Structure 1
Amino acid sequence: MAKPDVSSPLTQYDIEVETLIVGAGAAGMVAGLRAHEAGQDVLLIEADPLPSGSTALSAGLIPAAGTRFQKQAGITDSALQFAEDIQNKAKFENEQALVDLLAEHSGPTIEWLSDTHNFPFSVITDFDYPGHSQRRMHGLPERSGAELVDALRGRIEELDIPLVCNRRAVELFARDGHIFGVRVASPDGSTETIGVGRLILACNGFGGNRRMVKHHIPQIDGGLWFGHDGNQGEAVQWAELLGAATRHLSAYQGHGNVAHPHGILITWAVISEGGFQVNVHGQRFWDEGQGYSEAARAVLAQPDGVAWVIFDERIAAIARQFLDFKTAEAQGAVLRAKSINELENTCGFPAGNLAQTIDDIPYREADTFGRRFNAPPLSPPYCAVRVTGALFHTQGGIDIEATSLRVRKRDGGLFHNLYAIGGAACGVSGAGDSGYLSGNGLLAATVLGFLVGDI
């Protein structure tokens, strides 16, 4: 891939569009739907043969507050409460205006996708995600990111919104805070230029660029890359060349519950409903209640960089609503045993260690790690999955102004017609991994796409 470049404006472009969106993940496609709805001349370009991105690798869950789906489930929630949860998790490292914007428009975004585009959302009501004070995770029936991408692409196609795949943006034409056009490249090396009225960068983060990961977030450099390989960081590199501001480039979403070596995400429900993690010695090593993003570093610090997640069949029944978990079962990643001794033998733990670990858990009271187990104790049959830690996607990126959603300049002021959303923009996860509240990535992607598309 050619290094992203910035050049002076051309006198003429091959084609002209009012709104060009670079990247057709959840953020780009939502923005495309909204721009089309507003009557704009819009074009989406996507580097992959089909839209995919980080969204397709996720569980496809979008947190939203105050929706009718919550009310139907008897859940009382508000944008204010949601914003407080986001900031509490991130230790108030986020810009408050952006947090408020996302929380306030999260419900309307979900209901717009449901009412206008017939997305059959429902709220997960049978377990809690760490850091959320209310149950507000909305998903499609299969609880799959690929399902969400397919639904968005289906609507793009039904509405005849121009989407051209196998086109990677490689060069921006800019001057004095204004973007005039973009050069895009095809797989055969040919290029064409597109003149733009405005440019929305919805392209990617930089998790697939090992050089950038090592520089900005070295603590996760040794982790499995579980994101989309197209996340090469063009947006951040363009920001450097343009003089655009960036923020929290050390922020990322990790995950410490990826089945190994199968490479399948195991839902954190297996933890939140009473499961726990142990190392290869059958011993617990941290407070799993903190969250799955922090779990990546905790697991990678263990011998061989792996751990085992221990749960039971009651919890497995809850996890089975996720397509990924059913896939893990089908591929033999979920091991089962009728007794703790049998599970120790199956997983290769020293005899008696896992039994002692379970005996040491003081249910309903805080344990030595600070976790309080409120779910019922595990009972046979028992389950175990060997897992490792992974980097899912970066959360830092281009800094945007919350009122106009335009990109900020490093030396002050705003770009005239440049916007950043999705993985290209700084999210609301603070400055590290522990600030990631479940669903933050898709929250920012969908809500910012919803808002910027209509500007």
Structure 2
Amino acid sequence: MTELVTAPPAAFDIDCETLIIGAGACGLVAALAAHEAGQEVLVIEADAVPSGSTALSAGLIPAAGTAQQRGAGIDDTAEIFAQDIQDKAHNENDQGLVDLLAQNAGPVIDWLTETHGLPFSVVTNFDYPGHSRRRMHGLPTRAGSELINALRAACEAQGIDVICGRRAATLFRDGDEMCGVAVTRPDGGVETLGCKKLILASNGFGGNRKLVSKYMPQIDDGIWFGHDGNQGEAMLWGEALGASLKHLGAYQGHGNVAHPHGILITWAVITQGGVQVNRDGKRFWNEAQGYSEAARAVLSQPGGEAFAIFDSRIAAIAAQFEDFKQAQSVGAIRSHDTLDGLADDLGVPAGALTKTIGDIPDDGTDAFGRVFSGTRLQAPYCGVRVTGALFHTQGGLEINEHAQVLSVEGTAFPNLYAGGGAACGVSGKADSGYLSGNGLLSAVVLGRLAGSTPLSGA
């Protein structure tokens, strides 16, 4: 068995100043920040091309007080944003980390826009659960793959080396200092990389079913919708190092994944007035709680499936997302002029579905506690069969305000940093605290903080 942490070799095959493990959003942002700070940077990535969980997402980053918000006439502050995070997470988060992320998110978006030319804009035509302001920032296609490609292009423009096909296996340690890593190549060969500063931007552990069963059994039956590279190495390295781990039961789920197509359906189909029904054509919960909570709610239904019901007006809003357009192109989204026709197509009782939709109040609170206001669902009606999925884990290595990894005693490892899936985010202790976009929020902010910290430490 490969050692997770060991003493360094007498010499390394390659030496660099700042070594970053993982070329997702966190790693690439960290690389840009470290390069800007004058550091010699090397990024290693296990995949053949950078992707990670970021590429599977909508690529939306919540941020307050940005130039894009001001241009759209949106009044928002870091304080309001921080309160939204804590409200959703039932005040289970460390307030210092929440404030750190909320205060730095806006400047990071502005920096990526102004310095590196990423064309962010704010989603202004619908609200996300838990956000009291419209603050979700994304690139034109609203696809995470576009975000990754843009960050990679920015790194290439700066001459930053990103080497793919190298999976980190062993960390080299000398006392509290990290000296480098051993990586495996696709041909099975091993290379050793030395460094003065190590940033773990690698992964969570959602793709490791043994760890999921151990730490979050409530989502164990969910489809794994994240990146298969999320095997938990960062967490396992942390355990071997004596690092502090926090909120390992926290995750982002998604209860609106087209089944069996495996395509994420934006939660806009719900927030704009749509609902979810089960095989009996009946609603079963308050959908306003959010899409992460929906994963567990949907999985609890017969067959672990449900049906999202909306209309053509809502479909037109959802069509700004590339995933939704893909779902339309493969026939996952069904559309009919009558509810009876839609029910027959989806395989649910027509009478029950008609009654369910008819029982939705025009303006007011329903029996589940959801508040409705505005336009009722109207023909043409749309529907899609969905199931619940685990998208990524939110717990991980505990860090300080400089993104340095903390030991179980609370002291910082001098040259070890973490962000993205490797670090503990701000979603509380379980799934119920997930605020839309928190994963990418943690990735981009902690990536910049870790990258811009001097080699001499915080």
Fold in common (TM above 0.5) = yes
Kept in 2: contact 1:251–1:432 (CA 8 A):
yes
Equivalent residue of 2:433, what SS?
A: coil
Displacement of 1:4: 5.8
Q: Describe how 1:409-448 pairs up with structure 2 within 5 A.
A: 409-448=407-446
Displacement of 1:345: 1.4
CA distance in 2, matches of 1:295, 1:4: 39
Q: Describe how 1:354-365 pairs up with structure 2 within 5 A.
A: 354-365=353-364
Q: Describe how 1:279-358 pairs up with structure 2 within 5 A.
A: 279-358=278-357
Q: Describe how 1:50-449 pairs up with structure 2 within 5 A.
A: 50-402=49-401, 404-449=402-447
Displacement of 1:11: 2.4
CA distance in 2, matches of 1:375, 1:236: 46
Change in 2 beyond 3 A, CA 1:276/1:165: same
Kept in 2: contact 1:4–1:238 (CA 8 A):
no
Normalised by the size of structure 2, how large is the TM-score?
A: 0.98
CA distance in 1, matches of 2:410, 2:122: 41
Equivalent residue of 2:357, what SS?
A: helix
Matching residue's letter, 2:430: G
Identity among equivalent positions (%) equals: 62
Q: Which moved more, 1:154-163 or 1:17-26?
A: 154-163
Displacement of 1:363: 2.6
Equivalent residue of 1:356, what SS?
A: helix
CA distance in 2, matches of 1:151, 1:397: 27
Equivalent residue of 2:432, what SS?
A: coil
Kept in 1: contact 2:333–2:384 (CA 8 A):
yes
Q: Describe how 1:28-47 pairs up with structure 2 within 5 A.
A: 28-47=27-46
Kept in 1: contact 2:288–2:370 (CA 8 A):
yes
Q: Residue by residue, what CA displacement relative to the aligned partner does 1:349-407 show, whole Å, maximum 9, x if unpaired?
A: 223101111122223211111001123110000000000000000000000012x3211
CA distance in 2, matches of 1:143, 1:4: 40
Displacement of 1:35: 0.7
Change in 2 beyond 3 A, CA 1:271/1:420: same
Matching residue's letter, 1:219: Q
Displacement of 1:343: 1.4
Kept in 2: contact 1:202–1:422 (CA 8 A):
yes
Matching residue's letter, 2:450: V
Kept in 1: contact 2:206–2:393 (CA 8 A):
yes
Displacement of 1:3: 5.2
The residue that corresponds to 2:456 in the other structure is none
Displacement of 1:12: 1.7
Displacement of 1:451: 1.5
CA distance in 1, matches of 2:228, 2:362: 42
Matching residue's letter, 2:145: A
Q: Describe how 1:15-34 pairs up with structure 2 within 5 A.
A: 15-34=14-33
Normalised by the size of structure 1, how large is the TM-score?
A: 0.98
Equivalent residue of 1:10, what SS?
A: coil
Equivalent residue of 1:83, what SS?
A: helix
CA distance in 2, matches of 1:415, 1:107: 28
Equivalent residue of 1:434, what SS?
A: helix
CA distance in 1, matches of 2:56, 2:93: 25
Change in 2 beyond 3 A, CA 1:209/1:10: same
Matching residue's letter, 1:411: E
Report the RMSD for the aligned CA atoms in angstroms. Answer: 0.9
Gaps spanning 5+ residues in structure 1: where? none
CA distance in 2, matches of 1:131, 1:351: 33
CA distance in 1, matches of 2:340, 2:161: 59
CA distance in 2, matches of 1:143, 1:177: 41
Kept in 2: contact 1:363–1:372 (CA 8 A):
no
Kept in 1: contact 2:335–2:381 (CA 8 A):
yes
Q: Which moved more, 1:75-84 or 1:348-357?
A: 348-357
The residue that corresponds to 2:451 in the other structure is 453
Equivalent residue of 2:257, what SS?
A: strand
Matching residue's letter, 1:366: T
Equivalent residue of 1:253, what SS?
A: strand
Q: Which moved more, 1:259-268 or 1:189-198?
A: 189-198
Displacement of 1:175: 3.1
Displacement of 1:318: 0.3
Aligned length: 453
Kept in 1: contact 2:339–2:350 (CA 8 A):
no
Displacement of 1:27: 0.1
Matching residue's letter, 1:416: P
Equivalent residue of 1:117, what SS?
A: coil
Matching residue's letter, 2:192: T
Displacement of 1:9: 2.4
CA distance in 2, matches of 1:18, 1:310: 53
Kept in 2: contact 1:4–1:234 (CA 8 A):
no
CA distance in 2, matches of 1:412, 1:159: 36
Equivalent residue of 1:207, what SS?
A: coil
CA distance in 2, matches of 1:4, 1:291: 41
Kept in 2: contact 1:267–1:325 (CA 8 A):
yes
Matching residue's letter, 2:446: L
CA distance in 1, matches of 2:128, 2:16: 42
Displacement of 1:246: 0.5
Equivalent residue of 2:281, what SS?
A: coil
